[in-house]
Amino acid sequence: MDLKTSVQDSSGTNIFLTGAILFANLDYSGLGEYAIKAAIGGAVWMAFKLTSDYLSEKIKRNTK
């Protein structure tokens, strides 16, 4: 019987246990609130990015 554990098996187990502990202590209401804030922030960023691209193209066309 081989009682040696490989580093890969031990590492995978450590990652699984760490993930399980973090998932068990997760604050679901805070996670939902964060997701809403992230979505709103992403939408604002996308609006600024699209406006910037539009104005940049418009300025390029007018300067030629």
DSSP 53: H
pLDDT given for residue 28 in this prediction:
80
pLDDT given for residue 6 in this prediction:
54
pLDDT given for residue 9 in this prediction:
63
Q: Cα separation of 57 and 14, whole Å? A: 51
Query: For the chain, how far is it from start to end, CA to CA, in angstroms?
Result: 79
What pTM was computed for the model? 0.54
To which residue do tokens 């193209």 refer?
Answer: 57
pLDDT tens string, the chain, 64 residues long: the values are 555 555 556 777 888 888 888 888 878 888 889 999 999 999 999 999 999 999 999 999 988 6
